[in-house]
Each structure stands twice: as C-alpha cells, then as structure tokens.
Amino acid sequence: MSSLENALIGEYLVTDFVGAGGMGEVYKARHTHYGRVIAIKVLSEGVTDPNNIRRFYDEAGIQASLRHPGVAEYLGFYEYRSRPCILMEFVDGITISDLLSQRGPLPPSEAYRFACAIAEVVAHFHKNGVLHRDIKSGNVKINSAGAIKVLDFGIARFQHTQKLTSVGMVIGTPGILAPEQVKGREVTPATDVWQLGILMYEMLTGKLPFGADNPSALYAQILNADYTRISKVQATTPSSFERVIDRCLQKDPAKRFASGSELLMALQGTLKSKSDPVPKPVPRKIPLLRLGVILGSVVFIALAIGVIHGYHPAAGGSPIGACFEGDPGTDSPNAEKMVRLDTFEGSAQVFCKDQLVGVTPLTMQAKIGDKIHVLLRREGFRDTEKSFDVTERSVYTFVMDRK
C-alpha cells in the first residue's frame, strides 16, 4: 500500500495510487460528502531542492491559468503534512502510448483527428504564454468520451518567466527533445511544435522518428533532423499530412510552424489542399488478430483510408475481429462492405471482448449476415451493449443513456 492511501487531504479521501513521475506522485481521491472523484498530485517525499519545489508550485500556477476542455481542470492547492498537493480533475481512459501498444499504428484518419485536437490544446497553451516542453504520447489521454486531454505540466513554464534550468542543461524526455533543447538553448512555442510533429509521426508509424542505443547517437540524429520519412513507413498517409509533419521536424525552429495555432491551421488546410486530394480507397490486406479465444482462420480485410470522410478502419494491430460473434464472414457468399458504428451526442469508446478497438465513428469491414457485438462507453453515460446483424445498412447509430 502506498504511503498516502486512506489519507484525508482536505475533504478528499485518497483511495488509489495512480502513478509517479520525477517529482510527484498521483493519487485518486473521493470527496467525503459528495463522492466526486478527483486526482491529487503530491510532491514526492524527500524532494528538497528549492528549484524542484518552486517548479512544483509553478506547475500548479500554470494549470490554474489554463481553461480548456483538453486540459484537466484545476481544482485547488493544498498542503498535506508540509507536502504541496495539486487537486485536479481525474481523467479516465488510456494514453495514446497505451493505445499504440494495444493496436499498433493508427489509421491516418484517426491520427489526423487526434493531431487536430492536440494542436488546438497546444494553441491554447501558447495563447496563454505557456510552453509545455514535454508533449508525448504518454502525456496525452483519450478519455471515455473519446476526447483528448493533455496532461503533466511538470516541466512546463510561462514563456517569459525566469528559467530554472542552467544554460547547457538538458531537461525533458530524450526521444522527443528538439534540437534547441539538446543544445540547452532557449525554447519557444516552436519547440512544442517539434514535439507535436514527433507525436504525429509516432501515431502513424508506431515508433519515434529518432532512436539510438546511446544518448550521443540519439542527439546526433535529432540535431541533424535525421529520420525516415513517413511515406517510407506508412504509405497510406496523405502527402499533405506528411508535409505538415516534415515542417514540424525542421531542425531550425524558424522554419517550423511558429505556434500551435499555425500548426492547427495547417492541419485544417490539408482538407482543402487541391494538390493533394483525399486518396481513393486503397485496399490493404491486414490480418485480424486472434484475441482471448481462437477466432478460426485469419481473415484478410480491405481497408479504406480517407481523412476527410473520417474513416476508422482496422489497423494492423487492431483487435476489430473480436467484435464479431463467430468467424466474421468466413463462410458467407455475400460481398464485403464497410460498416460504420456511430453514437449520438459525441464519440464513445468501443470495446469488443474487453479490448478497446477504437472510438466512434468507427468503420470496419463486414458482410451481410455477420453478427457484431460491442460495448460502448462514455463518461457520464451508462455502459451500453449492442448486438446487431449486418444488413444492407451501412451506418448503425446508437443512443446511450445518461447516468
């Protein structure tokens, strides 16, 4: 049991240990009267360096200054036995890092949707003078409603405040550092843009663009912006999307998008690009996974990738096959078709046999007569199980009841 479990912090009773980082520990807590569940970040015991303590207080101030649906809501500050605590909204769901571990690379349409949502949040940071400096897949969550939340302001700072890091000192996650961070130089909003470029690359390919066995080799790659272009790894990525990512990963900050707002406009502009129209559906044969039980013969499905149309086809690592009751279309003479699952009032997570397979709208390949069973989950709504037979219809939209 963690040291703070069952502790009473203000009016909140700590119930669970969530995780720990460099300077803080995160706990789940429940209000003793109203039952509201929140997250509490506590400065780690034994942290005595004045700069680290000041950074923790700055983190609270930064989070308090931000008001955006893509940021966990700041609820207050408290000291528990001389240890400072940040009280904030508890964000359920999974990180993009976990999603990639489960499913592998995301379809370009899904990666694009997440990229736009994250860029919008980062644009809000920059508008309020905040530099996050650690935008990575492990710091971005997809909650139960399918919405993006950018987390962890542990090394964030206001752009024009005094630096706490000495010149020449490298701070941050090695694989996502921008060249100016590696050199220990001043960071700007363009630094966050670089990290967003890395995150988009990772969503599309399942791996970071820069990676080596030792820091020296890694930093040499970063300083030279030496990476394999996405089109050589994920050929279905629209070239306009790739060009946006390539500009994010320019080693000279002046050649990148200057802010999250500029990046967001560029991403939105890819939908209007006349030189790069939405590609026609390209068949791509990918095996369905056998999850939990033997689903029978591996079935190959043709995927259609379309950024504008919002397709969410099954990616290489996706457990979409678990949604079918029995072997999907194995013995059926019927033609294959694209079936889209959707929900009223926003997106919902889609689970099949306890595996998260995506969020609505979710598109999968099926045949008329196939039986599909899914569990829909969204924050503030009751879990909803749906079973249906595939018919001539292409879209199946479900209503979820509020709690």
Contact (Cβ atoms closer than 8 angstroms) between residue 200 and residue 217: no
Tens of pLDDT, residue by residue over 177-192, are: 999 999 988 899 999 9
| DSSP code per residue over 345-380 | TS--EEEETTEEEEESSEEEEEETT-EEEEEEE-TT
What stretches of 153-238 adopt beta strand conformation (E)? 157-158
Helix, strand, or coil (residue 263): helix
Q: Minimal CA–CA distance to 147: which of 109, 181, 120, 183? A: 120
DSSP assignment letter at 273:
-
pLDDT of residue 251: 95
Vertex 264, ends 261 and 270: CA angle to 5°?
A: 145
Q: What is the C-alpha separation between 259 and 267, in angstroms, rounded?
A: 13
pLDDT of residue 246: 97
Q: What is the C-alpha separation between 4 and 15, in angstroms, rounded?
A: 9
Domains and CATH numbers, the chain: 8-89 (3.30.200.20), 94-272 (1.10.510.10), 285-398 (no CATH)
pLDDT of residue 160: 73
Residue 342: active-site member: no
Instruction: Give the chain's radius of gyration (CA, Å).
Output: 22
Mention every residue, 6+ apart, whose C-beta is less than 8 A from residue 213.
Answer: none
**Reported pTM:** 0.67
pLDDT of residue 389: 87
- The residue from 58, 134, 152, 192 that is catalytic is 134
Q: Minimal CA–CA distance to 316: which of 326, 329, 303? A: 303
Tens of pLDDT, residue by residue over 63-82, are: 999 999 999 999 999 999 88
| DSSP code per residue over 73-121 | PEEEEEEETTEEEEEEE---SEEHHHHHHHH-SPPHHHHHHHHHHHHHH
Tens of pLDDT, residue by residue over 269-306, are: 876 554 454 343 333 333 333 333 333 333 333 333 33
In which residue ranges of the chain is pLDDT below 50? 1, 164, 166-168, 274-275, 277-318
